[in-house]
Amino acid sequence: MLDIIKVIILGIVEGITEWLPVSSTGHLILVGDLLQPNLSDAFMEMFNVVIQLGAIMAVVVLYFHKLNPFSPKKTKKQKLLTWQMWIKVLIASVPAAVVGLLFNDYLDAIFYKPLPVAVMLIVYGVLFIIVENRNKHVRPKVTKISELSVQMLIWIGVFQMLALIPGTSRSGATIVGALMIGISRGVAAEFTFFLAIPVMFGASFLKLIGFGLSFTAKEAGLLLLGCVVSFGVSIVAIKFLMGYIKKHDFKVFGYYRIALGAVIIIAAIVQMIIA
């Protein structure tokens, strides 16, 4: 029963932090260290990635019409634009896909720890504040996904690749990259949602294969529960973020990241002194 409660908490954390630019993996690592569910390290490492499938399904549900190139309600031109959007998503996914396939285990071994998470939280928190201050009186060059050029897609893809380091935040990295090249907040956030679909399905598939699909009944049930909870919470989080950025910038998330990163570093120093 205790592990069920802990998995529900982790599902809530995933649903909130996957779409807010504050690093879902980083928060899952930190909260997991605090909760310490009675599950193997190998299972928890896989769980922290595969639970994102629930969050992804929230995007599919909320944006199904926009994502569906076969919708009978769309004109021929709208269907063509939808196909073009998917091509852009795939182009921007290439850098993270290549690096993830080649170096995923290596990156996990080095960075899947609280201190690297703290550093990346702070670095990207500072970037958010700098970029938003720079863009304060600048009109965005791109206000529609259809206006994204190949060069912009590659730039966004490189920033998403950097998010393979826990604590960076996939949404945070891609949004920062998009803002830096003059893309509006709304387009940056929405394209980030769509970009998550192939990336997260691919990452989850790799983790499931790596784990060996050898689940106990308890593990399978807890994984499904985590996905369901993250799906429900993600629906709320996505709607909140899209409403929030219509009137506000991303600096508040930058300040939050810096504060959280500082707390983690202080806690690590105190722990070393006590030990």
Listing DSSP states for 192-225 in one string gives HHHHHHHHHHHHHHHHHHHHTS---HHHHHHHHH
Taking CA atoms, 49 is separated from 110, 193, 224, in Å, by 17, 16, 13
Average pLDDT in the chain: 90
Q: Say what the pLDDT of residue 28 is.
A: 85
Confidence check: pLDDT of 57 > 90 = yes
Q: Is the pLDDT of residue 178 over 90?
A: yes
On the question of pLDDT at 105 being above 80, the answer is no
Residue 188: C-alpha distances to residues 63, 124, 125, 177 (Å):
15, 16, 17, 9
Residue 242: closest CA among 185, 165, 198 = 185
The reported pLDDT for the residue numbered 257 is: 94
pLDDT at 262: 93
Its pTM stands at 0.87
The C-alpha atoms of residue 23 and residue 221 are separated, in whole angstroms, by 25
* Among 13-22, 79-88, 126-135, 199-208, the least confident range: 199-208
The Cα-based distances of 109 to 36, 104, 105, 212, 248 in angstroms read 19, 9, 6, 19, 37
Q: How far is CA 209 from CA 46, 153, 202, 206, 220, in A?
A: 10, 29, 11, 5, 14
pLDDT of 103 reads 80
Tokens standing for 88?
């852009």
Confidence of residue 144 (pLDDT cuts 50, 70, 90): very high
Closest-CA residue to 257 (of 173, 160, 151, 157): 173
Instruction: Looking at 112-216, list the stretches that DSSP marks H as alpha helix, in order from N- to C-terminal side.
Output: 114-134, 150-162, 170-180, 185-211
